[in-house]
């Protein structure tokens, strides 16, 4: 937990792969001017390799340890006002869920399975979907993770039918309310 005088005013985006966290994160960053931390990108830059390569070389647990360390670091920063876009599996560890809520306002971007399948099918960056039946894998992971997103988020946003600008407007309005009018 950060010990600074100023309470954290991060906006933290969680949700399944392909739910729009990175896109909405960029939009919020542009609107508020807060620095954007895309956790997957930071991990890739530090490891100097892609997430897929980290999974292949060191295994998923090593990647999860990197996620947890980064969350701890973000919690230690003084006066944090950031937009934090997370990887879809960050809610898997109980400790991470606590760290996420300590960081600030946690927003769950939710998209239905067919939309996720359509979006994630466009690239091969996601090692967990490197399987013969990505649809079945998405269903199984989604069933496991839904209650975890639910438990972690302050706000659930259904993304269907809304563009990233509309989503950002809604999130900002509720974040202002959450932070009692001051962002």
Between 80 and 88, name the residue whose CB sits nearer to ligand S3P. 88
Contact call for residue 44 and ligand S3P (CB under 6 A): no
Q: Under rule CB under 6 A, how many of the chain's residues touch ligand S3P?
A: 10
Contact call for residue 135 and ligand S3P (CB under 6 A): no
130-to-42, 123, 158 alpha-carbon distances in Å: 22, 10, 26
The DSSP call for residue 127 is G
- Dist. CA 128–CA 121, nearest whole Å: 12
- Kindly tell me which residue out of 41, 68, 127, 134 binds ligand S3P, with binding defined by CB under 6 A: 127
Question: Interface residues for ligand S3P in 60-89 (CB under 6 A)?
Answer: 87-89
Shortest reach from residue 103's CB to ligand S3P, in Å: 17
Q: Are 104 and 10 in contact (CB under 8 A)?
A: yes
**Strands 83-85 and 10-14, sheet pairing:** parallel
Q: Which residues of 57-89 are buried (b: 16+ CB within 10 A; e: fewer)?
A: eeeeeebbebbeebbeebbeeeebbbbbbbbbb
Between 65 and 173, name the residue whose CB sits nearer to ligand S3P. 65
Question: Interface residues for ligand S3P in 89-108 (CB under 6 A)?
Answer: 89
Shortest reach from residue 179's CB to ligand S3P, in Å: 25
Backbone angles phi, psi at 73, to 5 degrees: -60, -45
Shortest reach from residue 17's CB to ligand S3P, in Å: 4
Residue ranges that bind ligand S3P, judged by CB under 6 A: 17, 21, 40, 51, 87-89, 126-128
């Amino acid at each position: 937990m950060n010990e600074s005088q100023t309470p954290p005013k991060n906006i933290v985006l969680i949700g399944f792969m392909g739910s729009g966290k990175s896109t909405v994160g960029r939009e919020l960053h542009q609107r508020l001017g807060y620095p954007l931390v895309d956790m997957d990108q930071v991990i890739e830059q530090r490891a100097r390799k892609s997430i897929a390569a980290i999974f292949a070389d060191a295994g998923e647990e090593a990647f999860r340890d990197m996620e947890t360390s980064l969350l701890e670091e973000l919690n230690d920063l003084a006066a944090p006002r950031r937009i934090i876009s997370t990887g879809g599996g960050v809610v898997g560890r109980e400790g991470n869920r606590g760290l996420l809520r300590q960081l600030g306002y946690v927003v769950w971007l939710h998209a239905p399975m067919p939309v996720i399948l359509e979006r994630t099918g466009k690239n091969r960056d996601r090692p967990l979907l490197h399987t013969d039946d990505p649809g079945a894998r998405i269903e199984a992971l989604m069933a496991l993770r839904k209650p975890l997103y639910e438990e972690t988020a302050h706000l659930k946003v259904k993304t269907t039918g809304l563009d990233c600008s509309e989503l950002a407007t809604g999130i900002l309005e509720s974040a202002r309310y959450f932070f009692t009018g001051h962002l």
